[in-house]
Structure 1
Amino acid sequence: MRTRRAVILGLGGTAGALAFTLGLGWWKSRNSAQPGAGLLPLPVADMSFNLSNHRGNPVQPADWIGRPTMVFFGFTWCPDVCPTTLSDISDWLADLGPEADRLNVALISVDPERDTPTVLAEYLSNFDRRIVGLTGQLPEVEKAAAGFRAKFEKLPRDGDYTMNHTAGVFLFHADGRFASIIDFHEDRRFALPKIRRILT
Structure 2
Amino acid sequence: MRRGVVAIMLTVMLMLSGCLGSGSDEIELFGFEYRDPPEAPGFNLTNQHGEPVSLPDFEGKVVVVAFVYTHCPDVCPVISSNLAWVDANLGDYSEEVILLSVTIDPARDTVSLLANWTETRGYDWDHLTGNHTELELMWEAWHVGVDDEHIENNTSSEEAGNESEDGPHDYTLGHSIVTFILDKDTRKRVAYSGTDWNIEEFLHDIQALADE
Is 1:194 matched up with 2:194? Answer: no
Deviations 1:26-76 (A, max 9, x none): 754233679x994568413xx243211111111222222221100100100
SS in 2 for 1:163: coil
Q: 1:180 corresponds to which letter in structure 2? A: V
Partner letter of residue 82 of structure 1? C
CA contact (8 A) 1:72 1:168 kept: yes
CA shift for structure 1 position 102? 1.9
Structure 2: stretches of 5+ with no match in the other structure: 20-33, 151-168
Over 4 Å off, 4+ runs:
39-42
Q: In structure 1, the residue corresponding to 2:56 is in which secondary structure?
A: helix
Distance 1:67 1:88, change over 3 A: same
Distance 1:26 1:54 in 2: 31
Structure with greater proportional helix content: 1
* Counterparts in 2 of 1:38 and 1:140: CA distance versus 1, 3 Å: farther
- Superposition pairs of residues 71-86 of structure 1, within 5 angstroms: 71-86=65-80
* 1:43 paired to 2:39: yes
Q: Which runs of 5+ in 1 are unaligned?
A: 1-17
Distance (whole Å) between structure 1 residues aligned to residue 143 and residue 78 of structure 2: 22
1:151-183 deviation per Cα after TM superposition (whole angstroms, max 9, x unaligned) = 111366xx7321111212210001111110123
Q: Measured at CA, do residues 60 and 37 of structure 1 come closer, stay the same or move farther in structure 2, by a change above 3 Å?
A: farther
**Which amino acid counterpart does residue 146 of structure 2 have in structure 1?**
F
Equivalent residues of 1:75, 1:115 under 8 A apart:
yes
* CA–CA separation in structure 1 for the residues paired with 2:59 and 2:14: 32
Question: Between the two proteins, what is the percent identity of the paired residues?
Answer: 26
> How many aligned positions are there?
173
Question: What is the Cα-based RMSD across aligned positions, in Å?
Answer: 2.8
Separation (CA, whole Å) in 2 of partners of 1:74 and 1:31:
16
Q: Which residue of 120, 128, 132 maps to 2:123?
A: 128
Asked if 1:165 is matched to 2:188, the reply is: no
The 2-side partners of 1:31 and 1:95 are apart by: 29
In structure 2, relative to structure 1, the CA distance for the partners of 1:135 and 1:148 (3 Å cut) is same
Larger Rg: 2
Contact 1:67 1:104 in 2 (8 A): yes
Query: Within 2, Cα distance between the matches of 1:85 and 1:33?
Result: 22
Q: Which residue of 1 aligns with 2:165?
A: none
Taking a change above 3 Å as real, the CA distance of residues 186 and 32 of structure 1, as seen in their structure-2 partners, is closer
CA–CA separation in structure 2 for the residues paired with 1:121 and 1:128: 10
1:89 maps onto 2:94 in alignment: no
Equivalent residue in structure 1 for 2:107, among 104, 113, 130: 113
The alignment status of 1:58 with 2:35, answered yes or no, reads: no
Conserved in 2, the CA contact under 8 Å of 1:26 and 1:164? no
Q: Give the match's secondary structure for 2:71.
A: coil
With over 3 angstroms needed to count, the CA separation of the structure-2 counterparts of 1:182 and 1:175, relative to structure 1, is same
